[in-house]
Structures are given as C-alpha cells and as structure tokens.
Amino acid sequence: MPNIRPISDLRNNANDISEFCRIQREPVFITKNGVGDMVVMSVEVYEKQQSLLSLYAKLAEVEAEIANGDEGKDFFELAKKLRRNVHGKV
C-alpha cells in the first residue's frame, strides 16, 4: 500500500519521511490540497530505477536492430576477446 502524506508532513516531518524512504526502500507520495503533487524516494531507489530505465532503453535499441536484420555477435567469442584484453591469452 502506498505511503501518502500531505505536503505539510514534508515540511514538518522531513526526517521521518527520509528515514522511511531509506529503510523501507519505498517512495512517499506527497499531496497538495488533496491532489498528488510529488514523490519522494531515497537516492538508492532512484539510482536503481534510472539504471533499469537505461538498461530497458539499450535492450529496446538492440531489439530494433535485430528486427531490422542486423546480425548480433556470438557472446562466447566476445567474452573470450574481453578476457584476453583483461588477462592476456586465454
């Protein structure tokens, strides 16, 4: 169940909201005059969401390339090449 609080709680109980976001790893929805206004979340959760969005964008790009007929590279060959670059001959 979402945690919904009025904007006055943000002003009066910012530390409690911050602690809730960090410990529960859940956002707090802030209302203004009874209407949703903003969302407060921990930096950790925000960064994780941004990373996921970036990953989804990259996956969509690759799927579009494949749909357009582009050929992919063999994962195992690519992994060998990367290992050679890092560790020398495999």
Helix (H, G, I), strand (E, B) or coil at 24: helix
| Residue 89 in this model has a pLDDT that exceeds 70 | no
| Residue 90 in this model has a pLDDT that exceeds 60 | no
Domains of the chain by start residue, with CATH: 3-42 (3.40.1620.10)
Q: What does the DSSP 8-state code read for residue 69?
A: T
Return d(Cα 39, Cα 1) in angstroms, integer. Answer: 15
pLDDT score at 51: 95
Mean pLDDT of the chain: 92
- Summarize pLDDT for 56-88 with one digit per residue, the tens: 999 999 899 989 988 877 889 889 988 988 887
Strand order, beta sheet including 28-32: 3-6, 28-32, 35-40
